[in-house]
Amino acid sequence: RSGEMAKLTQLIDNEVFQAYATYAVIVLLKMMLMSLITASFRIRRKAFANPEDTASFGKGENAKKYLRTDPDVERVRRGHLNDLENIVPFFGIGLLYALSGPELSTALLHFRIFAGARIAHTFAYLIPLPQPGRGLSWAVGYAVTISMAYKVLKTAWYL
């Protein structure tokens, strides 16, 4: 049993794992921030999806007018959905990648580029910036995840 604890301690002391944990937390916090931004937009635009959310704006027909979609709220929601589609795979593939024994400098490059691309993607979505900014930031992050997945497959299954 103490041998298992030693292995866990070795993992926590591993610099690549520490780098992964750092950048995973950064992008997860960024993704969580999108929930707060969505809520903020809903409140400012008075555009809610659920009847109970309109209660502070009145009752009956008066409250029903706040059950609506708003283009700005939907834009933030699409950005958040894009985060879910990209950060969740990074979370799993990045962990496997960190455990596959990459060089620290290469791992840091992967993690930093991914985090930077996702942050740039968020700004491109929220401002909004003209294309191809959003598309390029998405593609860069996606390519990083594919690169890590390839390294994991190459290491684990000798592709």
Residue 125: count of CB within 10 angstroms of its CB: 21
Per-residue model confidence (pLDDT) at position 151: 95
The fold of the 15-157 domain, in CATH, is Four Helix Bundle (Hemerythrin (Met), subunit A) (1.20.120)
Could you give the CA distance from residue 42 to residue 65 in angstroms, rounded to a whole number? Answer: 13
State both tokens at 112.
Answer: 């930093």
pLDDT block averages, 10 residues each, the chain of length 159: 58 88 98 96 93 81 87 96 97 96 97 98 95 97 98 83
Q: What span, in angstroms and rounded, lies between the C-alpha atoms of 100 and 90?
A: 15
What's the CA gap between 154 and 147, in Å, rounded?
Answer: 10
Amino acid (1-letter code) at residue 130: P
Sign of the torsion formed by the C-alpha atoms of 38, 44, 47 and 49: positive
**64-71 contacts at long range (C-beta below 8 A, 24 or more positions apart):** 70/41, 70/42, 70/45
pLDDT for 58: 72
